[in-house]
Amino acid sequence: MSLVSDLLAGDHRALARTITTIENRDPGYRDLVSELHEHTGTADVIGITGSPGAGKSTLVDKLTREYRDRDLTVGVLAIDPSSPFTGGSVLGDRIRMGSTTGDMDVFVRSMSARGRLGGLSTATADAVKALDAFGKDKIIIETVGAGQNEIDIVKTADTVAVLVPPGTGDDIQMLKAGIFEIGDVFVVNKADLSGADRTVKELREMIRTREDYTSERNGTTGIDRAIDRTDTDWEPQILETIANAGEGVEELVSVLQAHADHLVESGKRTQRARQRYAQEISTHLREDLRHLTAQEIDAQGGLDEIVEAVTRRETDPYTIVDELIAPIEECIHHRAEQEQAEGER
């Protein structure tokens, strides 16, 4: 693939075209990502999440500037809400990420959430692979906003920083609702505002009782198990920043690097990568099976006709599902029988 070759050679236009192909799910995008996969695994992926107004974009801009001052290359994926009409990004390129404009070692791209509840689409993980293969040292993902559904970020990022504005009790309660357990670093941004000290105190108290807020695993196993971020050897750090003035950013970069080093030294980086790939495989399986069953439904006259049969009590939903997946089951059983027969020879 010439596009892959050009990307690996450092062609920025090829990188942009590749991410566009990935985001639009154009023909051949899966082959592109497959070709890139063997060239990934070296970049540090950092997730920045937090409630709207917490100053995520400004902080990402300052982080990018600090990384460039340290001679590190950066890729930024800013996840925006999806347009209900086009499915594309609503906000477009972030105007608050302008301090590195013109720097060819910084790649900033706004991407649509594509309606995903967690604010991240499958395309985001694929775009991260493109940036990783391109050779970016640091990849920063800024999410739509915080909340229970924002935990999708853990499926892509190595380190997650959660921004909390000062004096907002509702945000602390929101953390308790689900996002608290995913944070490796908590950043009280806009620390020059009143209430910052109280917010820091509340966060410290929550960290001391973090086990009380760990989400239940619901007894699931294998590829359906949620990403397990349990790490008793790392205590989440709390930092104060004033992003628009650049204060605290240097310390934040140092803490993010300390966590990245910890992941490597403890073996957690490899462990989390395995978990992410398990999640990715599970997601792709569900999507592909959904497409296959949709085709089978169309072949049988469409969903409306099937629903009418159920409404007339001529059949029932369980029977319909059994009939739809029967061809897939037959193929799997046939292959298993062939493999068993070959093994007995």
Q: What is the pTM of this model?
A: 0.83
Q: Is residue 155 part of a domain?
A: yes
Average pLDDT of span 110-136: 80
Residue ending a domain, choose from 216, 250, 266: 266
Q: Are residues 62 and 187 in the same domain?
A: yes
Q: Are residues 321 and 202 in the same domain?
A: no
Round to whole Å and give the CA distance between 27 and 20. 12
CATH assignment of the domain containing 74: 3.40.50.300
Q: Which string of DSSP letters, residue by residue, matches 186-244?
A: EEEESTTSTTHHHHHHHHHHHHHTGGGGPPP-TT--GGGSPP----TT-PPEEEEEBGG
pLDDT for res 83: 42
Q: Give the pLDDT band (50/70/90) at residue 62.
A: very high
Higher-confidence residue of 120 and 63: namely: 63
Round to whole Å and give the CA distance between 322 and 304. 18
Average pLDDT of span 216-229: 45
* For residue 321, pLDDT beyond 80: yes
Q: Are residues 196 and 310 in the same domain?
A: no
Q: Are residues 192 and 317 in the same domain?
A: no
pLDDT for res 344: 79
Q: Which string of DSSP letters, residue by residue, matches 50-73?
A: E-TTS-HHHHHHHHHHHHHHTT--
Higher-confidence residue of 256 and 283: namely: 256
Q: Are residues 248 and 336 in the same domain?
A: no
Q: Is residue 63 part of a domain?
A: yes
* For residue 193, pLDDT beyond 80: yes
Q: Is residue 168 part of a domain?
A: yes
pLDDT for res 99: 72
Q: Give the pLDDT band (50/70/90) at residue 118.
A: very low
pLDDT for res 153: 76
Q: Are residues 252 and 304 in the same domain?
A: no
The lowest-confidence range among 38-47, 205-214, 267-276 is: 205-214
* For residue 242, pLDDT beyond 60: yes
Round to whole Å and give the CA distance between 331 and 313. 30
* For residue 229, pLDDT beyond 80: no
Sign of CA pseudo-dihedral 195, 189, 151, 276 = negative
Round to whole Å and give the CA distance between 87 and 79. 13
Q: Are residues 223 and 321 in the same domain?
A: no
pLDDT averaged over every residue in the chain:
83
Higher-confidence residue of 296 and 215: namely: 296
pLDDT for res 1: 63
Count up the domains in the chain and report the number.
2
Rg, the chain, Cα only: 23
50 class by beta-carbon count within 10 Å (0-12 exposed, 13-18 middle, 19+ buried): buried
Domain of residue 238: give its range: 39-266
Helices (H), the chain: 2-8, 12-24, 29-37, 56-69, 122-134, 169-174, 196-208, 249-266, 268-299, 303-311, 317-344
Q: Are residues 117 and 197 in the same domain?
A: yes
Residue where the block lists tokens 């590749």: 18
Q: Is residue 105 part of a domain?
A: yes
Q: Give the pLDDT band (50/70/90) at residue 215.
A: very low
Residue ending a domain, choose from 247, 266, 285: 266
pLDDT for res 84: 37
Higher-confidence residue of 172 and 223: namely: 172
Q: Are residues 228 and 307 in the same domain?
A: no
Round to whole Å and give the CA distance between 247 and 251. 9
Q: Are residues 90 and 157 in the same domain?
A: yes
Q: Is residue 3 part of a domain?
A: no
Contacts of the segment 147-150: beta carbons below 8 A, 24+ positions apart: 147/51, 147/174, 147/177, 147/178, 147/179, 148/174, 148/177, 148/178, 148/179, 149/117, 149/118, 149/119, 150/49, 150/118, 150/119, 150/179
Q: Give the pLDDT band (50/70/90) at residue 39.
A: very high
Q: Are residues 259 and 321 in the same domain?
A: no
Kindly state the tokens that stand for 9: 């050679």
Q: Are residues 244 and 307 in the same domain?
A: no
HSE-up (13 A, CA, CB side) for residue 106: 22
- DSSP secondary structure code for residue 169 in this structure: H
CB atoms within 10 A of CB 201: 11
pLDDT for res 81: 62
Higher-confidence residue of 136 and 229: namely: 136
Q: Is residue 203 part of a domain?
A: yes
Q: Is residue 27 part of a domain?
A: no
What's the N-to-C CA distance of the chain in angstroms?
A: 41
Q: Which residues of 87-113 are buried (b: 16+ CB within 10 A; e: fewer)?
A: eebeeeebebbeebeeeebbbbbbbbb
* For residue 82, pLDDT beyond 80: no
Contacts of the segment 30-36: beta carbons below 8 A, 24+ positions apart: 31/1, 32/1, 32/3, 32/4, 32/130, 33/126, 33/129, 33/130, 35/1, 35/4, 36/4, 36/7, 36/129, 36/130, 36/132, 36/133
Rounded to whole angstroms, the maximal C-alpha distance in the chain is: 77
In the three-class reduction of DSSP (H, G, I as helix; E, B as strand; rest coil), residue 328 is classed as: helix
Q: Is residue 276 part of a domain?
A: no
